[in-house]
Amino acid sequence: MGERVLVTGATGFLGQHCILQLLAAGYEVRGTVRSLKREAEVREALQRGGADGARLTLVEADLTADAGWAEAVTGCTHVLHVASPFPLVQPENEDDLIRPAREGALRVLKAAANAGVKRTVLTSSVAAVSAGHDKSGGRVFDESDWSDLEKPNVSAYEKSKTLAERAAWDFIATPEAKGMELAVINPGAILGPVLSADTSSSLEIVRQLMSRALPACPRIGFPIVDVRDVASAHLAAMTRPDAAGKRFICTEKHAWFRDVAGVLDTRFGPEGWKIPTGELPDWFVRLVALFNPTIRSITPLLGVERRFDTRRIWKELDWKPCGMAAMVIASGESLAELGVVQKK
């Protein structure tokens, strides 16, 4: 094929699956890492996913600094900008999250435009679509919607994703973009098979259930999607001519903790895993949140169900997701295989 694609965040959950699919499709791939000391770790993860890595090179580049980005994009026809901070616990200073997300996106886009990259695909989030809006339900969000950052209780993460994506669209409309195209993928909580023990924050849903960090399930849910389906959406948005200039909401369905627990219990219960499938009252979740920072960060989601219109990604990217059971089981099996969770 001869084309080279840059993938930012080669140590990350989604970044590694994007690299796997690009290699399988015949592309040359260059991945960025903050330190080349992690190269062996990345290559081991990709080998676990079935790739030999012969067409992969890794380079050092950090979202918070200019060094390395011009060299990283040189000779690349496309960029998948996947890297962005996603902490388990919200920082005390929201700028610690917002600045690297927004400035990092602009740093990558400017370097890509200067190098003559044809199209960049940016990983955003549904957090840039629905945050700050009424939580009473009934509304269905689509790609025309943006999070309202003026409302209270919008998290630093939601602000970081919204401001980074806004900055990307603003940049692409300027002469400085030099005609480079942009497409954006807005996924929900990403589950699916893990390739290394350095797991994504979104997999805490499964990890907490399998490790019995909670005695039962909080009344909290998320729009979920399989990492393999998010990666395939990135490749489709990269190659389809009519994807340029568009956002694509990338979620399969809304799932409550109890829905995920039910799938895990069916798969792992017969093997002796004790998966909590009952439901916790809201007052108890708020009590647990005093001692569990992961739960504390998601208590604003108690009882909230966000619904999204995903017709665009199905139709325009010919997207065919794998299903909730497949992504939850793959998450659990890989976490157990890597020793991230252990039977109690």
User: pLDDT tens across 152-183, in order?
Assistant: 888 888 999 999 999 999 999 999 999 999 99
Domain coverage including residue 264 = 4-337
What's the whole-model pTM score? 0.94
Report pLDDT for 153: 80
Establish if 233 belongs to a structural domain.
yes
| Domain harbouring 272, CATH code | 3.40.50.720
Confidence label for 312 from pLDDT (cuts 50, 70 and 90): very high
Mean pLDDT of 20-25: 97
Q: pLDDT class for 138, splitting at 50, 70, 90?
A: confident
How many domains are there within the chain?
Answer: 1
Lookup result for tokens 């490790």:
211
Q: Any catalytic annotation for residue 320?
A: no
> In percent, how much of the chain has pLDDT > 70?
96
- Whether residue 343 lies inside any domain: the answer is no
* Lowest mean pLDDT across 11-15, 92-96, 152-156, 181-185: 92-96
Q: How confident is the model at residue 136 (pLDDT cuts 50, 70, 90)?
A: low
Res 97 pLDDT > 90: no
pLDDT interval class at 198 (50, 70, 90):
confident
The pLDDT of residue 310: 97
Provide the pLDDT confidence category of residue 269 given band limits of 50, 70 and 90. Answer: very high
Q: What is the pLDDT of residues 201-212, one digit of tens each?
A: 889 899 999 999
Given this model, what pLDDT does residue 324 score? 96
- For residue 344, being part of any structural domain is answered with no
Q: Is there a domain that residue 243 lies in?
A: yes
Q: What is the pLDDT of residues 278-292, one digit of tens each?
A: 999 999 988 888 887
Question: Would the pLDDT of 322 be above 70?
Answer: yes
Mean pLDDT of the chain: 93
Is residue 134 domain-resident? yes
Which residue is catalytic, options 161, 246, 274, 344? Answer: 161
